[in-house]
Amino acid sequence: MAEAFVAGFLVVLQWKTFSFMLIGIAVGFWVGLLPGIGGLTTLALMLPFIYDMTPVEAFAFLLGMHSVTATTGDITSILFGVPGEGSAAATILDGHAMAKKGEAGRALGAALMSSLVGAIIGAFALAISIPIMRPLVLTFGAPELFMLAVMGISFISSLSGQGGRAMIRGFLGGLLGLLIALVGLDPQAGIERFTFDQLYLWDGVAIVPLIIGLFAMPEIIDLAVRGTSIAGELPQGNLNRGVMEGVKDTFRHFWLTVRCSLAGTFIGIMPGLGGSVAQWIAYGHAAQSARDATERSGFGKGDVRGVLGPGAANNSKEGGSLIPTVAFGIPGSAAMAILLGAFLIQGLRPGLDMLDKHLVLTFSMVWTMVIANVITVAVSLLFLNQLAKLTTVRGTILIPFILFLAFIGAFTEHNHIGDLVSLLLFGGLGYLMVRCSWPRAPLVLGFVLGEIAETNFYISSTRYGLSWLYHPVVLTLMVLTVIFIAYPHLRFYLKQVENEPIA
Partner 1 sequence: MKPKLNLHLFLALGVALVASYALYSATDWPFRTALFPKMIAVPLLVLALIEMGLSAFSTEKQREGHAVDFELTANIDPSVGRRRTLAIVGWILSFFILILLIGFPVGVPVFVFSYLKLGGKEKWGLALILTALSWLLMKGLFDRLLHIPFPDGWIQSLFG
Choice from 57, 144, 249, 454 touching partner 1 (CB under 8 A): 454
**Cα-to-chain-centroid distance, residue 202:** 25
Binding mask 4-43 for partner 1 (x = CB under 8 A): ------------------------------x-xx------
Choice from 224, 374, 483, 490 touching partner 1 (CB under 8 A): 224
Q: Does 82 bind partner 1 (CB under 8 A)?
A: no
Q: Site residues for partner 1, window 94-113 (CB under 8 A)?
A: 96-97, 100
Q: Site residues for partner 1, window 164-183 (CB under 8 A)?
A: 164-166, 168-172, 175-176, 178-179, 182
Query: Residue 185: phi, psi to the nearest 5?
Result: -75, 130
Cβ of residue 158: shortest distance to partner 1, in angstroms?
Answer: 8
Cβ of residue 34: shortest distance to partner 1, in angstroms?
Answer: 8
Identify whether the C-beta of residue 35 lies closer than 8 Å to the C-beta of residue 408. yes
Q: Does 438 bind partner 1 (CB under 8 A)?
A: yes
* Closer to partner 1 by Cβ: residue 126 or 159: 159
Cβ of residue 21: shortest distance to partner 1, in angstroms?
Answer: 22
Identify whether the C-beta of residue 28 lies closer than 8 Å to the C-beta of residue 379. no
Part in contact with partner 1 (CB under 8 A); list of ranges 109-117, 156-164, 198-206, 327-335:
156-164
Q: Site residues for partner 1, window 116-135 (CB under 8 A)?
A: none
Identify whether the C-beta of residue 239 lies closer than 8 Å to the C-beta of residue 392. yes
Q: Which residue type occupies 389? A: K
Q: Does 47 bind partner 1 (CB under 8 A)?
A: no
The count of residues in the chain is 503
The footprint of partner 1 on this chain (CB under 8 A) covers a number of residues equal to: 80
* Closer to partner 1 by Cβ: residue 288 or 368: 288
Q: Does 227 bind partner 1 (CB under 8 A)?
A: yes
Residues 6+ apart with CB under 8 A from 300: 93, 94, 97, 306, 439, 441
Query: Residue 48: phi, psi to the nearest 5?
Result: -60, -20
Q: Does 445 bind partner 1 (CB under 8 A)?
A: no
* Closer to partner 1 by Cβ: residue 397 or 503: 397
> Following CA atoms 342, 345, 351, 355 in sequence, which dihedral angle do they give, to the nearest 10 degrees?
-80
Residue 198 in 3-state DSSP?
coil
* Closer to partner 1 by Cβ: residue 340 or 403: 403
Per the DSSP assignment, residues forming a β-bridge with 193 are 184
Answer positive or negative: Cα dihedral of 493, 497, 500, 503: positive
Part in contact with partner 1 (CB under 8 A); list of ranges 103-111, 113-121, 321-329, 446-454:
446-454
Cβ of residue 197: shortest distance to partner 1, in angstroms?
Answer: 12
Cβ of residue 273: shortest distance to partner 1, in angstroms?
Answer: 18
Q: Site residues for partner 1, window 328-357 (CB under 8 A)?
A: none
Cβ of residue 257: shortest distance to partner 1, in angstroms?
Answer: 19
DSSP 192: E
- Rounded to an integer, what distance in angstroms lies between the CA atom of residue 235 and that of residue 254? 30
Cβ of residue 221: shortest distance to partner 1, in angstroms?
Answer: 5
Cβ of residue 382: shortest distance to partner 1, in angstroms?
Answer: 24
Binding mask 279-298 for partner 1 (x = CB under 8 A): --------x--------xx-
Q: Site residues for partner 1, window 231-250 (CB under 8 A)?
A: none
Closest C-alpha among 102, 9, 7 to residue 367: 9
Helix ranges restricted to H, 231-300: 237-252, 254-269, 275-288, 293-297
Cβ of residue 284: shortest distance to partner 1, in angstroms?
Answer: 9
Cβ of residue 180: shortest distance to partner 1, in angstroms?
Answer: 9
Q: Does 457 bind partner 1 (CB under 8 A)?
A: yes
Angle at 288 between CA 479 and CA 85, to 5 degrees: 105
Q: Does 389 bind partner 1 (CB under 8 A)?
A: no
Residues 6+ apart with CB under 8 A from 381: 109, 112, 243, 247
Q: Site residues for partner 1, window 398-437 (CB under 8 A)?
A: 399-401, 403-404, 407-408, 411-412, 415, 417, 420, 424, 427, 432-437
* Closer to partner 1 by Cβ: residue 248 or 491: 491
* HEC per residue, 353-412: HHHCCCHHHHHHHHHHHHHHHHHHHHHHHHHHHHHHHHHHCCHHHHHHHHHHHHHHHHHC
Identify whether the C-beta of residue 369 lies closer than 8 Å to the C-beta of residue 123. yes
* Closer to partner 1 by Cβ: residue 415 or 499: 415
Closest C-alpha among 220, 146, 272, 152 to residue 405: 220
